[in-house]
């Protein structure tokens, strides 16, 4: 919860500075600090207590003082002063894709736009299109961006909510008299966006649990507080609800709170056909509870195997359970490597040694180090010479590393005409070629599809990265015919990435299931730019499980030598 507040305020400071037109280096410093705080593993309060906040990469002494002030008071004077300088509502404009700080200032100065409602009214009335430098296309793009933001207000990206929800669960586990506790609802099903957070606890002292929950410092408002149930709202509008039951009903309540509406209806129908009654309190026969303490027992009483939480969407899982064809879903422990990590050679922060050390901590055998290619200047893309230097460094590292191995990879830009950023004679020097789109997102559907298909068909490309280009809550997917992309990948054996970066989760679960069904292999990449972000593999596994993927469907489950054999790459040291 401390992380959540600090990150939110640091990001808000960066937004407000952008609107003011402040020094871009200062703005980047706040954004970088917010990212580092969000992904670093140690407890902020403990770091503050030891006087070590400035040891967080990207957080110098000045920023450390502001972080300390936020931890002590819940805010900081610098942020509050910035808020007073900016017209109310103006900061919201930066949340709209296509509206940058310069545009926000123009909108305020020329049309007195101070919020999303003003912006939408002017865009839809046509007045925005009449403004110099805008036009109809820009106005339409802003309308689409507004629709994206409106949806984002109703649902929150999983990557943003899950760490906070886990902190609430940890606080309850450590501070309240709970015997068992779990996340439930859509967040447990690993939906990519969630409307609210459901928490279930088992306790013989429900009032004490509710009182502790209501007293947590994370809430802007406690919405309701009863004997066995309470709900609260965070500053940014996320609703969190906790329910407390007795242990003998815990499994039934967890089933009830986790499954989608239709999954639960189907379970109740199945129970009725067997002469049973299913509720959140258990499975009953003639008024006697025959199951309820454990989820497994509830499903067994209905003639079903345990159905993993991620599958409880009424998408065929009940039929598969009855027929005995539920897949053995991939688990995090099945992953032996990460297929997409950035290093100091481009816009990452980790050296080869740091990346390998993090791999060891995560129990991985190998990591593909895939830095940006030369045309992506904003990400410090590598020239051919720099790329060859990196390849040599990776080979040397592998010669001296007895355990973790690295792949010399590249995230190679697909240009607007479908050409790759490096010539073929350079691509063959790499262990792994990950092709990606990072520019010209507004191409029409046919052009974008042809652009990506050209990369899918290229003999030097192994993986297509984040195939839809979306950023959850920030940018819609570009127009692309994924049915054709998947079909072509199946024909040619090209791998499609399941990008695990929480803002991407791309491909989504539906397309993962479709691709695997056609024989396409998927590859999970954390897309980490900080070594701590390699933990994002957990998000990839969650999406893979929602997509019904098994360990056989993922390239990551191969050992280093198996993977190199698949890629046709073997390198022996001179010794």
Number of domain units in the chain: 4
Domain assignment of residue 165, yes or no: yes
Same domain, yes or no, for 9 and 125?
Answer: yes
What is the predicted pLDDT for the residue at 23? 81
Q: In this structure, what are the phi and psi dihedrals at residue 289, rounded to the nearest 5 degrees?
A: -75, 125
Domain assignment of residue 412, yes or no: yes
Listed as ranges, residues in the chain with pLDDT below 50 are 572-575
Same domain, yes or no, for 218 and 265?
Answer: no
Among 251, 346, 362, 247, residue whose Cα is nearest residue 299: 251
What is the predicted pLDDT for the residue at 2? 65
What is the predicted pLDDT for the residue at 572? 46
Same domain, yes or no, for 362 and 495?
Answer: yes
What is the predicted pLDDT for the residue at 1? 55
Same domain, yes or no, for 18 and 74?
Answer: yes
In this structure, what token pair is assigned to residue 514? 């479709």
CATH code, domain with 494: 3.20.20.140
Q: Tell me whether residue 21 is exposed, middle or buried, using C-beta atoms within 10 angstroms of its C-beta: 0 to 12, 13 to 18, 19 or more.
A: exposed
Sign of the dihedral defined by the CA atoms of residues 511, 512, 516, 519, in that order: positive
What is the predicted pLDDT for the residue at 574? 40
| Tens of pLDDT, residues 361-377 | 999 999 999 999 999 98
Q: Can you tell me the distance from the alpha carbon of 182 to that of 171, in angstroms, rounded to the nearest whole number?
A: 12
Domain assignment of residue 573, yes or no: no
Residues belonging to the chain? 575
Same domain, yes or no, for 319 and 357?
Answer: no
CATH code, domain with 150: 1.10.150.110
What is the predicted pLDDT for the residue at 151? 63
Same domain, yes or no, for 422 and 499?
Answer: yes
Domain assignment of residue 457, yes or no: yes
In this structure, what token pair is assigned to residue 94? 């930066």
Same domain, yes or no, for 122 and 137?
Answer: yes
The boundaries of the domain holding residue 268 are 250-323
Contact assessment for residue 119 and residue 107, using Cβ atoms and an 8 Å cutoff: yes
**Residue ending a domain, choose from 197, 219, 245:** 245
Same domain, yes or no, for 381 and 418?
Answer: yes
Same domain, yes or no, for 15 and 126?
Answer: yes
In this structure, what token pair is assigned to residue 181? 């506790």
Same domain, yes or no, for 535 and 469?
Answer: yes
What is the predicted pLDDT for the residue at 137? 74
Give the three-state DSSP class for 461. coil
Domain assignment of residue 572, yes or no: no
Domain assignment of residue 574, yes or no: no
CATH code, domain with 290: 3.30.210.10
Same domain, yes or no, for 460 and 401?
Answer: yes
CATH code, domain with 178: 3.30.460.10
Same domain, yes or no, for 406 and 486?
Answer: yes
Q: Can you tell me the distance from the alpha carbon of 412 to that of 368, in angstroms, rounded to the nearest whole number?
A: 13
Q: Can you tell me the distance from the alpha carbon of 400 to that of 259, in angstroms, rounded to the nearest whole number?
A: 49
């Amino acid at each position: 919860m401390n992380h959540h507040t600090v990150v939110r305020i640091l990001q808000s400071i960066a937004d407000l500075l952008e609107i003011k037109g402040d020094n871009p280096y200062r703005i980047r410093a706040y954004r970088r600090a917010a990212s580092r705080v969000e992904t670093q593993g140690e407890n902020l309060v403990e770091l503050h207590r030891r006087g070590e906040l400035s040891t967080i990469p990207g957080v110098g002494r000045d920023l450390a003082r502001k972080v300390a002030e936020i931890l002590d008071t819940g805010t900081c004077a610098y942020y509050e002063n910035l808020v007073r300088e900016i017209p109310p509502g103006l900061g919201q404009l930066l949340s709209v894709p296509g509206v940058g700080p310069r545009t926000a200032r123009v909108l305020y100065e020329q049309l007195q736009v101070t919020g999303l409602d003003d912006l939408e009214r002017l865009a839809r009335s046509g007045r925005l299109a009449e403004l110099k430098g805008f036009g109809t296309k820009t106005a339409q793009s802003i309308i689409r961006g507004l629709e994206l933001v409106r949806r984002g207000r109703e649902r929150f990206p999983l990557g943003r909510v899950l760490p906070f929800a886990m902190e609430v669960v940890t606080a309850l586990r450590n501070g309240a008299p709970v015997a068992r506790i779990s996340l439930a609802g859509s967040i447990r099903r690993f939906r990519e966006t969630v409307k609210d957070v459901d928490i279930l606890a088992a306790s013989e002292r429900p009032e004490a649990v509710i009182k502790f929950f209501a007293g947590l410092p994370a809430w802007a408002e406690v919405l309701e507080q009863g004997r066995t149930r309470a709900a609260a709202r965070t500053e940014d509008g996320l609703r969190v609800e906790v329910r407390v039951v007795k242990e003998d009903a815990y499994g039934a309540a967890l089933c009830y709170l986790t499954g989608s509406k239709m999954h639960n209806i189907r379970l109740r129908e199945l129970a009725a056909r067997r002469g049973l009654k299913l509720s959140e309190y258990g499975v009953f026969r003639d008024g006697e509870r025959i199951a309820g303490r454990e989820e497994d027992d509830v499903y067994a009483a209905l003639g079903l195997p345990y159905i993993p939480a991620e599958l409880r969407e009424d998408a065929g899982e009940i039929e598969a359970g009855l027929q005995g064809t539920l897949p053995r879903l991939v688990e995090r422990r099945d992953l032996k490597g990460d297929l997409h990590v950035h290093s100091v050679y481009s816009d990452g922060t980790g050296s080869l040694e740091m990346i390998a050390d993090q791999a060891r901590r995560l129990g991985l055998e190998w990591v593909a180090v895939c830095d940006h290619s030369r045309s992506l200047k904003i990400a410090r893309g590598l020239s051919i010479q720099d790329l060859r230097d990196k390849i040599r460094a990776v080979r040397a590292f592998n010669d001296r590393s007895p355990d973790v191995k690295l792949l010399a990879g590249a995230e190679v830009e697909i240009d607007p005409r479908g050409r790759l950023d490096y010539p073929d004679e350079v691509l063959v020097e790499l262990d792994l070629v990950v092709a990606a789109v990072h520019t010209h997102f507004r191409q029409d559907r046919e052009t974008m599809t042809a652009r990506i298909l050209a990369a899918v068909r290229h003999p030097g490309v192994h993986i297509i990265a984040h195939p839809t280009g979306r950023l959850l809550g920030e940018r819609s997917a570009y127009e692309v015919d994924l049915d054709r992309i998947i079909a072509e990948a199946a024909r040619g054996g090209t791998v499609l990435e399941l990008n695990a970066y929480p803002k991407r989760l791309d491909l989504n679960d539906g397309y993962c299931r479709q691709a695997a069904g056609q024989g396409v292999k998927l590859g999970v990449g954390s897309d980490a730019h900080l070594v701590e972000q390699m933990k994002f593999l957990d998000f990839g596994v969650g999406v893979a499980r929602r997509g019904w993927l098994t360990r056989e469907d993922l390239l990551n489950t191969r050992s280093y030598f198996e993977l190199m054999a698949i890629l046709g790459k073997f390198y022996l040291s001179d010794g």
